[in-house]
Each structure stands twice: as structure tokens, then as C-alpha cells.
Amino acid sequence: MAIMLGMLTVFYAIVIYILYATQRNEKPSFTEYSVGGRSYGPWFVAMSYVNSWWPGAVFIAFFGIAAGAGVFAFYGLAYSSLGVAMMYFMATRAWRWGARHNLRSQPDLLEMRFDSRAVKVIASLIGVISLFPWVVLGMQALGQLFEVASEGRWSLTTALMVGLAVIVIRQFWTVKMGMRGLIMTDVFQGVVAYVFAAAVCLFMLSGFGGSPISFSTLASLPEQMLRVPGDGDGYGFLYLFSLIFTGVIGSLCWPTSFQRIYTASGVRAVKSGTIRTVLLSGVFYSLLMLLAMAAAVLPGVADAPQNGWFTLMEQYGGTWMLGLAVTMVFAASMGHIDGSVQVCGLQIANDIIRSEKRPLSDAKLTLVAKSSMAVFMAAAALVAYLTFDMARLQLLAQISYQGIVQLAVPLFLGIFWRGGNKYGAISGMSVGFLTAVAFTWFYPDDIAGLGSLTGGVVALGINLVVYLVVSAVTGISKAERERVDALFVEAAQPTAVAVPTVTV
């Protein structure tokens, strides 16, 4: 217990030291606070993106899926790689519009494209509501992590309270420094969580150090672990497609992902960062899933796949290796929660509170963002405590994922197509989100009568139809068409922004 808690303490102290050493004395503008002054190079962008994408749950839930169900778990690699790759193609227009119009968030871009505050507010609400359950789940994962680190001597309630206290203290720096406070630690946290984990997986699969499993173990997996849903079981033929399709679309709709575009120093930094993200994610996730599948043959892992990562690490290297495994999950969890809280605070202040009737100075915007983060964190902490033993909390996470993809229609069509208007965007998002919530509540997994399509995919189709029909019926004025034409013309022209570049 002392060894594992000591390793967590050392890791935590290094994170705090990085934050303390990189903080700035001068008062930041809101652009500096919200997007780090658009000054970061490709490695910062990549590590920040990876931290916001892979939560600590990847070592628990996804590891458990791979250890229990086999190759099905690789659907996560498929949608992550495709989704992040799409960011490459969005980078030019999104970044240039962001730099020219001082955009700070995804809803900012939607407001500019459709010239509508209502579009911005609805998009921001969908983003904040959809992220909230993930912060709750992240905090609960921290509680489970500290239960393992205490070797079961702490009760679940005690472990949860310690986890909450640790992340609340960490959030002091996120609230104080804004995006800079995230990005400056994302590199260190990412190295510990994903680079170290990939190295450990590779060592074990190579049979290094007396590993109980290796690549050769994969050859002896039972046949059922090589099948995917829809291949002779109770799921329809569209189930796997729905999961991957929703993941690809959702990866570009999460506010945490999209904001990485605005922290970059230029289009080249976004695209280079995207390529690095795909490589980092692909190597890390592939090795982790292969390790989990190989570990499925071990009795301890087979009995409890969700705890398989910790069980395997302890069998491999004893207490020290288990301590490293716990630290990796801690690093991933902290990075994901940090990113979610920061972007939600930003959107509440910038997109929901601020308006033409309620203009706010940079100082007041920053104050509102800080206050919003604190309230968001407190609410998430309270819900995490009250719902720790709730059996169907995972349903909220599923609903949030099916809900966030409803931003895709106005976002993608708005960036790449000059058609459509604000009435179509407002109607489509509203109908799509409410439909997704209703479908996912009654069919939390799949809709058997529709070939196992998920509720979010069905709602997305309805969203698209509503967007096109309402836009066609309400039409586009000459002035609006000329405004949108001008936006697309300026997106084709390079933009120079005078900012200090942090290149790694």
C-alpha cells in the first residue's frame, strides 16, 4: 500500500511542479486563457488530443471488453483512427476561421457560420450536457483506482473521497491557468499513461522478464473471441457499423477534441499533430488490446476482466508493477477530467453567459469561466458520490455519446457545404438530440427491429432530414448567401497570426 500510494504521490507532485513552474505572472487575456494564445506545436496538440480522448476507463472497461469478448474491442481502434484522421481534413477551414474571427470554441464556429446565437447556445448546451456524465464516471474510476492502491483497506466511500479530493486540488490549477494549465502537463501525463503503457505491453507480449503471456498466446484463443457482434449471435448486422459510425462522427463532435484545433499555432501544427495522434493512439490501443486478449487465458483475468489490467500487472511484476499500472490509470483519468472540465467552463462562459445584451470584458469572462468550472466540478463530484452504486449509470454515458453526434449535421455540412441555414441547424440539432435521448433510454444498446442500429444513428438520420427540409422550406436570403460565400473565400486564403509559438 505504501509503495503504490508513494508512486502516486511522486507522480502528482511532478504534475503540480510543472504547473507551478509554467504559470505566468501577468493576467492572461481570455484568448490566452481559453485556447493558450493559439501558440502550440504539433506534439503539444497531439498529446493534448490523446489525453482528452483516452480516459482511464480504457484500462478498465475496454481492457475488460478485450479480455472478455476478444477482437470486438478493436472497434475502438477503428473509430478512433478514422475520426482523428477526419480532423486532418477539417483543420484548414476550422483553424483559419478561428484565427480570423477569434473563435474560442466549437459553438463559436457554428454561430459564425449560421449567424445565429441560438445555434451557438444549443450546440454548447448539448456539448456540456453530454460531457457531464463522463466527468462523473471519471471521478468514480478514480475511486476504484484508490481502492486498488490501498490494497482494499479503504472502503469504496473513502477511496472515492480521496479521488475526489485529489482531482479537486488538481483543478485549482486548471481553473487558474486555463488551457495552458492543461497542455503543459498533458505531455508528461501522456508519456506516463500511454507511452509507458505501450512499452510495458510490448515487453510482456515479447515474453520479456518472465511474462506469463506473449504474442504466441494469441494463437490459442478460443474461437468465440475471434467473432464480432452480428456474427451468429443475438445482434443484427448493423450493430458493429453503428458503433464505429457513431464513434467516428462523435470523435469530431466532442468539444474537447475540436478545441485542440484552436490551441495550435497554425494549420500545419493541427495536421502534424493529427498524424502524431493517430500514431500514438494506434500503437498504444493496439498493444493494450492484444495484451488483454492474450491475458484472457489467465484464471485471475478471466474471472474478472474489468480488473484484468491490475491483476495482470501484479502477476507480472508484483507491487511495484501494480503501482506503475495504477499510476498510468491515474494519469489518463486526470488528463481526461481536466480537459472536460476546462472546455465546459469555457463554453458556459463564452457561449451561454456572454451575449450582445450581456457583453463581458476578458477579465469578467475569465472570472465566469473559473466560477463555471468550480460549479461544474462540485456538481460532478456530488453526483459521483450519490450514484457510485447506481447500476445503470453507464446508460447516461451511452446517451451522452448518442447525443453528442447530433452536432455533426450543422458542423460538417456547415464547414464543407454552403447550403443550409440557422433554422435548419436549430431544428435538426434539437429534434436529433431529444430523439437520441428517447431512443437510447428505451433501447440503451440497440434497436433489434432495425438490424441493431443504435438510437443515436437513427436520430442522426432524422436530424439530417429535418436540417435539409427546414432549410429548403425557409430558404436563404441573398445577403446570407453572400455572407457565407465570403466566409468560404477567406477560408481558402492563408492566415498569419502573431502569437508566440511553443513547438515541441
User: Nearest-5° angle of CA 195, CA 196, CA 198?
Assistant: 65
pLDDT of residue 400: 78
- Return the closest-CA partner of residue 40 out of 174, 181, 180: 180
Q: Give residue 264's Cα distance to chain centre.
A: 18
Q: Output the CA torsion sign for 83, 87, 93, 98.
A: positive
Tens digit of each residue's pLDDT (9 = 90 or more) over 349-404: 888 888 777 777 777 888 888 788 888 888 887 887 777 666 555 566 667 788 88
Residue 428 has pLDDT above 90, yes or no: yes
Q: How confident is the model at residue 460 (pLDDT cuts 50, 70, 90)?
A: very high
Q: What value does the CA radius of gyration of the chain take, rounded to a whole number of Å?
A: 22
Q: How confident is the model at residue 111 (pLDDT cuts 50, 70, 90)?
A: very high
pLDDT of residue 495: 63
Provide the grid cell at 117: 446565437
The residues, ordered by sequence, that sit 6+ positions from 262 with a Cβ below 8 Å of its Cβ are 35, 38, 95, 98, 103, 104, 105
pLDDT of residue 497: 54
- Return the closest-CA partner of residue 167 out of 385, 337, 380: 337
d(CA 107, CA 123): 6
d(CA 435, CA 458): 8
Beta bridge partners, 447, equal: 453
- Return the closest-CA partner of residue 35 out of 342, 355, 490: 342
d(CA 143, CA 133): 15
Q: How confident is the model at residue 199 (pLDDT cuts 50, 70, 90)?
A: very high
Residue 155 has pLDDT above 70, yes or no: yes
Provide the grid cell at 278: 493517430
pTM of this structure: 0.84
pLDDT of residue 171: 72
The residues, ordered by sequence, that sit 6+ positions from 193 with a Cβ below 8 Å of its Cβ are 51, 54, 328, 329, 331, 332, 335
Residues in the chain: 504
3-state secondary structure of 264: strand
